[in-house]
């Protein structure tokens, strides 16, 4: 007679398959666990993370919200729920989740980066820059955050006129573009063959007429 697995054994197997990127197997096992115990925190959180990964955002939201009802003090769940709300084009809810994640995990660079992305999408460039800078204070060698910060400085420096016909003369705008250049140069220091950073540098140099 085949022995049925305990919830603990199912979870270990689900987690193993999740890490190995066997997502269908992992999802099936997480769902089996939740059929037995719908209040299993880790199964709710990790299945939500898996569904976020596979872009099933509505269901991911439900699972993260369920997980937070079970444990309202889990920063990573708030962070992932924030990402989910961002994908669902609900920036205010996303920002609220990232703020809660940061309150629980003040050294969570990822949450600062994510909240920066939402501010940037809303056109709140100053707030985005502040958030990216906080993320870099926590993780000084994070290439992704330097890229985001550089692009935010570019957005801060862009004019509302046609740059081809009217060159930049405003010193403050030049300063923002120089900040962007420093960010892209920092990426190249960390990762010397980052083609995207070189491309972004070229674009900014062209913009300021260098």
Q: What is the reported pTM?
A: 0.86
Q: What is the pLDDT of residue 162?
A: 44
Q: What is the pLDDT of residue 209?
A: 85
pLDDT by position in tens, the chain (length 210): 446 889 999 999 999 999 999 999 999 999 999 999 999 999 999 999 999 999 999 999 999 999 999 999 999 999 999 999 999 999 999 999 999 999 999 999 999 999 999 999 999 999 999 999 999 999 999 999 999 999 999 999 885 444 444 555 567 778 899 999 999 999 999 999 999 999 999 999 998 888
Crossing angle of helices 57-70 and 75-87, rounded to 10° = 160
Return the number of other C-beta atoms located less than 10 Å from residue 148's C-beta.
23
Alpha helix segments (H runs only) across the chain: 7-19, 23-36, 41-53, 57-70, 75-87, 91-104, 109-121, 125-138, 143-157, 171-190, 195-207
> Rounded CA gap, 181 and 173, in Å?
13
Residue corresponding to tokens 């919200």: 65
Q: Which two tokens stand for residue 87?
A: 């994908």
Residue 103: partners with Cβ closer than 8 Å, 6 or more residues away:
none
- 113 near 148, Cβ under 8 Å? yes
């Amino acid at each position: 007679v085949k022995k049925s697995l305990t919830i603990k054994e199912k979870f270990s197997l689900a987690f193993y398959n999740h890490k190995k990127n066997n997502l269908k197997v992992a999802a099936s096992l997480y769902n089996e666990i939740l059929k037995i115990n719908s209040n299993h925190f880790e199964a709710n959180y990790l299945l939500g993370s898996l569904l976020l990964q596979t872009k099933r955002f509505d269901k991911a939201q439900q699972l993260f919200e369920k997980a937070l009802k079970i444990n309202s003090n889990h920063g990573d769940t708030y962070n992932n729920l924030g990402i989910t709300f961002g994908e669902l084009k609900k920036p205010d809810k996303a920002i609220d989740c990232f703020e809660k994640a940061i309150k629980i995990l003040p050294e969570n660079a990822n949450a600062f980066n994510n909240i920066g992305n939402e501010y940037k999408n809303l056109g709140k460039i100053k707030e985005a820059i502040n958030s990216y800078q906080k993320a870099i204070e926590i993780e000084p060698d994070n290439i992704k955050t330097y890229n985001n910060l550089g692009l935010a400085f570019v957005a801060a420096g862009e004019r509302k006129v046609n740059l081809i016909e009217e060159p930049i003369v405003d010193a403050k705008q030049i300063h923002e573009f120089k900040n962007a250049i420093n960010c892209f140069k920092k990426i190249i220091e960390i990762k010397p063959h980052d083609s995207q950073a070189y491309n972004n540098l070229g674009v900014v140099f062209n913009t300021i007429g260098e």
